Amino acid sequence: MKILLKDVYPLGFDTVNNQKKNLFIENGILQNEGAFDEGTADKIIVGAKICPGFVDVGTQISNPGYEQRESIKSLGNAANIGGFTTILPFPNTKPSIDNASLVQSVFTNFKPLVQDFYPIGNITKKGIGKEIAEMLDMAENGAIGFSDGNRPLSEIQLMSLALQYSKTKNLKILQFPTEPVLSKNGQMHEGITSTQLGLKAIPNLAEEIIVQRDIKLAAYHEAAIHFHAISTKESVQLIREAQQNNIRVTASVAAMNLVWNDTKCDSFDVNFKVLPPLRDESDRLALIEGLKDGTISHIVSGHTPLDAEEKNIAFVDAEFGSATLEVAIALSWSALKEEFTLEDFVKLWSTNIYKQYQIEHPSLHVGKPVNLSIFDEKEWIFDPTKRKSKGVNPPSIDFSLELKVKGIILREQYYFNH
């Protein structure tokens, strides 16, 4: 396959950026400009932006065990539309990814897709927070980090042990910071809206307590911890102060928490019932400030596909989650376009993640394989009836999006959005 990217603008690479370039790619390898005949190109894309392939961390892949929510094929299709070339999936499958053979199975099962997969292994066996999993063995077999995914690890002794194990391999623990007792049976953020709706709620304190505790543990063990998808202003400040004290702590934020606040639950739309919950407007603004000053290193989709029996029911009975992989990048740009240049924005979905997880950063060096996402600043409307994910729960977006993915290229594999 011969591909010409004509008059494109690279962003986020280690070579010249935001200057018009012609790039010639043959069988996934970047060629010398003079060695390529435009007339022989099988595909030509003109005038787009390109960047290192977008990455999603903590994706719920549903396979094995939850194929009714998402198939391998539908996940790949959704990732293609969303512009992702790299996925770091959470281990909340059935069985959970809690041993070396299951880590290896991720590489095998998802190999046909146009994405690289770097599995995150469970901290505890079955991901239920009772007994430490075979972390070192999983690390030897390709696990890129450890987490119990969307289940917070509340047992302090296990977290302490996990930090020590991960330190020996220079890998991160990813904690979903929610204290389970304070958040039990909560339906949404605790605030004026939850009071008006009469719903049991999840206070900011449930997140703050875990963040504060685990920062102290990381400092004590001189280990690295990552807080996945923080949602409160208190968490942002705690993490900012820890970083100023040279504690090895990082954080991410989910796209939906940058765009909406808890008032979106007014209509009892189940697709806005997510974890972490949509918080107060002051929390949303604090998260954006956290991205601007580098306290929060990157954005995640929070992709959690669900089936109709889990989601198309009463709000209080519905499972948490939204199927966001196809729209997360465009959605987050809508919240940040006044705050970030496009070049700095793409780093929140690519460069910062490659560096944080010690994955080889994509380059534009002649003779090297390419890994890039292609997009335009183009207005479009998301039509949930045309979604590629099997999840019945995409967010209801009542405004135009202004970043449109045109395709991805990962070595000799590619996808172009028609």
Decide if pLDDT at 35 tops 90. Answer: no
- Give the confidence band of 396 by pLDDT, cuts at 50, 70, 90: very high
Give me 167's structure tokens: 């330190």
CB-CB contact of 223 with 249 (8 Å): no
Decide if pLDDT at 34 tops 80. Answer: no
What is the fold of 2-49+365-416? Urease, subunit C; domain 1 (2.30.40)
At residue 181, the 3 state secondary structure works out as: helix
pLDDT for 278: 98
Gap between the Cα atoms of 139 and 135, Å rounded:
6
Hunting for tokens 């009892």 — which residue is that? 268
* β-strand partners of 5: 23, 45
Same fold, 2-49+365-416 and 54-356: no
Q: What is the mean pLDDT of residues 408-414?
A: 98
Contacts of 235-240 with CB under 8 Å at 24 or more apart are 235/177, 235/207, 235/208, 235/211, 236/286, 236/287, 236/289, 236/290, 236/295, 236/296, 237/286, 238/208, 238/211, 238/212, 239/211, 239/215, 239/290, 239/295, 239/296, 240/290, 240/293, 240/295
Give me 315's structure tokens: 């709000």
Gap between the Cα atoms of 194 and 188, Å rounded:
7
pLDDT per position as a tens digit, 251-282: 999 999 999 999 999 999 999 999 999 999 99
CATH of span 54-356 = 3.20.20.140
Q: Quickly count: other Cβ atoms within 10 Å of residue 31's Cβ.
A: 17
pLDDT for 391: 98
Gap between the Cα atoms of 391 and 414, Å rounded:
24
Q: What is the mean pLDDT of residues 340-369?
A: 97
By residue count, the chain amounts to 418
- 344 sits in which H/E element: helix 342-347
Decide if pLDDT at 33 tops 80. Answer: no
Q: What is the mean pLDDT of residues 87-94?
A: 98
CB-CB contact of 316 with 380 (8 Å): no
pLDDT for 17: 76
Cα distances (Å, whole numbers) of residue 271 to 207, 254, 392: 22, 14, 9
pLDDT for 1: 93
Decide if pLDDT at 36 tops 80. Answer: no
Give me 123's structure tokens: 């901290």
CB-CB contact of 144 with 58 (8 Å): no
Domain ranges, ordered by start, for the chain: 2-49+365-416, 54-356
- Give the confidence band of 418 by pLDDT, cuts at 50, 70, 90: confident
Q: What is the mean pLDDT of residues 352-365?
A: 96
Which residues have C-beta within 8 Å of that of residue 192, sequence separation ≥ 6?
A: none
pLDDT per position as a tens digit, 239-251: 999 999 999 999 9
pLDDT per position as a tens digit, 128-143: 999 999 999 999 999 9
pLDDT per position as a tens digit, 164-190: 999 999 999 999 999 999 999 999 999
- Give the confidence band of 15 by pLDDT, cuts at 50, 70, 90: confident
Gap between the Cα atoms of 18 and 6, Å rounded:
14
Decide if pLDDT at 38 tops 90. Answer: no
- Give the confidence band of 329 by pLDDT, cuts at 50, 70, 90: very high
Q: What is the mean pLDDT of residues 61-85?
A: 98
Give me 301's structure tokens: 């989709």
Decide if pLDDT at 37 tops 90. Answer: no
Decide if pLDDT at 345 tops 90. Answer: yes
Q: What is the mean pLDDT of residues 14-41?
A: 87
* β-strand partners of 145: 120, 172
Q: What is the mean pLDDT of the chain?
A: 97
pLDDT for 74: 98
Decide if pLDDT at 18 tops 80. Answer: no
